[in-house]
């Protein structure tokens, strides 16, 4: 099948979170199954741009509101990703470093979608399925099925994956003219509760809608920040498919970001070597268990409870543990985490920022990974932790609930019910006891490393879904 993925992020070209990891891996695994999967994304002026060379394969223009933007389609040269990567360069809108968080994000991503659809019209090969990811590509299913310019795709199946239902991209009707012209008869297909909402539009117009875990699919049928009723109405065409991980990138045996690679045979030495390095770098004690958090410092991830939970844990458990944080996000959380450094020097440290290499080193060197998420559609961190032999401590929600079984239930991780200081403290207490079981703890490590979360299964599930639309 000829599968086209459209996304704002794709690793290694541009990453803000798990969306990039998914879009950077799923097409590769679909190609391994014998299909032809490719990715279309914006061309940001970031590190990937400055460290690669690109070939221009197409030039066109996209009209958005009263402006006309010239765009170019670039492909990276001399880099083997396992799929074709097409990057839409739109000067004036995407010649900036970051992916999101600009005042004109609505204009930027609508223009990206228009440019993408315009370019798709020029394709000679038949496209079997257009697979869009998250709200930044949410108008594509509507545009391809209802807008005259794109009528060529009227019968082309579209799939929309909700990676995160909290981000909906809605805006007011005075900006309706940002979209290409269409009959007002179709206004209802872009609208939800009085606003133009790309996520709602995608749920209405895509042939199939997926979320990134079955558990999250159940949850959002009951609550999705205002879209739950819509999802209930469209439930028939929705399915939860659990994400996989790219086991070629996330493999402690070959990971080039680690100084010391390790597999099942030398897991204990490998993890200790990684821990020693981290402890040296962050002034922590390698003799004590290392608890880590990696991720966006936002409420959704439960990061706002971390300062309080860590303060209490380090006070109550008399410095029996180390804690290391890697993340960035809301200022008050960053500040709360930085404030702990003085009082707990030697057993606590934080790196506020984004650092891919450090994240690999932490998955390898930590003993436990904290994930007190309030919302977690899938979560990849716990899957990376498992692969690197690190015990995930998770709140029972969404994909975390689908992938982590508590040690008390014959599993390998530690689960709690609430995103609260008390629950995190209780889990840390259990973790400290577990760490002291000198036979069971290393045995569990090896067990976790063998759990198969590779993309093989999910890549086939998506293909089956595509076939069901033929």
Question: In terms of CB distance, is 27 or 379 closer to ligand GLC?
Answer: 379
Q: Three-state secondary structure along 322-389?
A: EEEEEEEECHHHHHHHHCCCCCCCCCEEEEECCCHHHHHHHHHHCCEEEECCCCCCCCCHHHHHHHCC
Q: From the list ligand ADP, ligand GLC, none, pick the one residue 413 interacts with, judged by a Cβ distance below 5 to 8 Å according to partner type.
A: none
**For helices 356-365 and 267-282, angle between their N-to-C axes, nearest 10 degrees:** 120
Q: From the list ligand GLC, ligand ADP, none, pick the one residue 210 interacts with, judged by a Cβ distance below 5 to 8 Å according to partner type.
A: none
d(CA 402, CA 13): 29
Question: In terms of CB distance, is 160 or 344 closer to ligand GLC?
Answer: 160
Question: In terms of CB distance, is 180 or 377 closer to ligand ADP?
Answer: 377
> Any contact of residue 17 with ligand GLC (CB under 6 A)?
yes
Binders in 367-426 for ligand ADP, by CB under 6 A? 378-381
| Residue 27 Cα to chain centre, angstroms | 15
Q: Classify 312 as helix, strand or coil.
A: helix
Binding segment for ligand ADP (CB under 6 A), chosen from 127-135, 141-149, 221-229, 352-360, is 352-360
Binding mask of the shown chain, residues 5 to 34, with x at each position contacting ligand ADP by CB under 6 A:
------------xxx-x-------------
| Residue 263 Cα to chain centre, angstroms | 26
> Any contact of residue 240 with ligand GLC (CB under 6 A)?
no
Percent helix, strand and coil across the chain, each rounded to 5?
40, 20, 35
Tokens of 197: 């909402």
Identify the CA nearest to 353 among candidates 371, 329, 336.
329
Binding mask of the shown chain, residues 230 to 259, with x at each position contacting ligand ADP by CB under 6 A:
------------------------------
d(CA 278, CA 394): 23
Binding mask of the shown chain, residues 163 to 202, with x at each position contacting ligand GLC by CB under 6 A:
xx--------------------------------------
> Any contact of residue 157 with ligand GLC (CB under 6 A)?
no
Q: Exposure pattern of 141-154 as b/e (b: 16+ CB <10 Å)?
A: bbbbbbbebbeebe
Is residue 262 within 8 Å of residue 387, measured between CB atoms? no
- Which one of 169, 372, 379, 392 is in contact with ligand GLC (CB under 6 A)? 379
Q: From the list ligand GLC, ligand ADP, none, pick the one residue 212 interacts with, judged by a Cβ distance below 5 to 8 Å according to partner type.
A: ligand GLC
Question: In terms of CB distance, is 17 or 169 closer to ligand GLC?
Answer: 17
Q: From the list ligand GLC, ligand ADP, none, pick the one residue 381 interacts with, judged by a Cβ distance below 5 to 8 Å according to partner type.
A: ligand ADP
Return the ∠ at Cα 24 (arms to 23 and 30), rounded to 5°.
80
Q: What is the DSSP letter of 138?
A: T
> Any contact of residue 302 with ligand ADP (CB under 6 A)?
no
Is residue 426 within 8 Å of residue 417, measured between CB atoms? no
Question: In terms of CB distance, is 187 or 335 closer to ligand ADP?
Answer: 335
Work out how close the CB of 446 gets to ligand ADP at its nearest, in angstroms, rounded to a whole number: 22
Question: In terms of CB distance, is 109 or 150 closer to ligand ADP?
Answer: 109
Binders in 282-301 for ligand ADP, by CB under 6 A? 294-296
Q: From the list ligand ADP, ligand GLC, none, pick the one residue 279 interacts with, judged by a Cβ distance below 5 to 8 Å according to partner type.
A: none
Question: In terms of CB distance, is 265 or 356 closer to ligand ADP?
Answer: 356
Pairing of strands 322-329, 290-297: parallel
Q: What is the DSSP letter of 14?
A: B
> Any contact of residue 22 with ligand GLC (CB under 6 A)?
yes
**Ordered DSSP codes for 19-53:** HHHHHHHHHHHHHHTT-EEEEEEE--SSHHHHTS-
| Cα radius of gyration rounded to whole Å, the chain | 23
Question: In terms of CB distance, is 365 or 377 closer to ligand GLC?
Answer: 377
Question: In terms of CB distance, is 72 or 161 closer to ligand ADP?
Answer: 161
Residues that bind ligand ADP (CB under 6 A): 17-19, 21, 294-296, 326-328, 354-356, 359, 378-381
Give contact residues for ligand GLC (rule: CB under 6 A): 17-19, 22, 163-164, 212, 243, 376-380, 399
């Amino acid at each position: 099948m000829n599968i086209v993925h459209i996304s704002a992020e794709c690793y290694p070209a541009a990453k803000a979170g798990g969306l990039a990891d998914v879009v950077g891996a799923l097409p590769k695994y679909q190609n391994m199954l014998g299909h032809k999967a490719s990715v279309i994304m914006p061309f940001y002026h970031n590190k990937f741009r400055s460290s690669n060379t690109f070939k221009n394969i197409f030039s066109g223009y996209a009209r958005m509101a009263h402006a006309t933007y010239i765009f170019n389609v670039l492909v990276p040269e001399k880099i083997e990703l396992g799929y074709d990567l097409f990057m839409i360069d739109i000067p004036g809108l995407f010649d900036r470093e970051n992916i999101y968080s600009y005042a004109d994000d609505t204009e930027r991503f609508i223009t990206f979608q228009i440019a993408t659809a315009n370019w798709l019209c020029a394709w000679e090969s038949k496209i079997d399925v257009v697979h869009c990811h998250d709200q930044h590509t949410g108008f594509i299913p509507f545009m391809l099925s209802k807008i005259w310019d794109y009528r060529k795709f009227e019968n082309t199946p579209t799939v929309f994956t909700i990676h995160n239902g909290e981000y909906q991209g809605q805006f007011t009707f005075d900006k309706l003219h940002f979209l290409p012209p269409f009959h007002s008869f179709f206004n209802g297909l872009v609208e939800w509760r009085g606003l133009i909402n790309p996520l709602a539009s995608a749920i209405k117009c895509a042939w199939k809608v997926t979320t990134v875990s079955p558990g999250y699919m159940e949850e959002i049928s009951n609550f999705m920040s205002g879209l739950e009723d819509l999802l209930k109405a469209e439930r028939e065409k929705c399915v939860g498919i659990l994400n996989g991980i790219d086991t070629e990138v996330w493999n402690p045996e070959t990971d080039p970001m680690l100084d010391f690679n390790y597999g099942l045979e030398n897991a204990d030495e490998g993890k200790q070597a990684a821990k020693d390095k981290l402890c040296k770098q962050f002034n922590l004690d390698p003799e004590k268990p290392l608890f880590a958090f990696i991720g966006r410092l936002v409420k959704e991830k439960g990061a706002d409870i971390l300062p309080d939970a860590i303060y209490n844990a380090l006070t109550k458990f008399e410095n029996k543990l180390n804690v290391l944080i890697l993340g960035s996000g809301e200022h008050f959380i960053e500040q709360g985490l930085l404030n702990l450094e003085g009082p707990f020097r030697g057993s606590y440290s934080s790196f506020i920022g984004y650092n891919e290499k450090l994240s690999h080193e932490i998955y390898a060197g930590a003993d436990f990974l904290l994930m007190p998420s309030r919302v977690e559609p899938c979560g990849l961190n716990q899957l990376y932790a498992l692969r690197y032999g690190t015990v995930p401590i998770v709140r029972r929600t969404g994909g975390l609930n689908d992938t982590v079984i508590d040690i008390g239930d014959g599993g390998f991780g530690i689960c709690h019910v609430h995103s609260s200081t008390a629950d995190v403290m209780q889990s840390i207490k259990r973790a400290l006891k577990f760490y002291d079981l000198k036979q069971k703890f290393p045995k569990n490590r090896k067990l976790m490393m063998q759990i198969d979360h590779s993309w093989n299964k999910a890549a086939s599930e998506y293909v089956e879904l595509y076939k069901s639309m033929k």
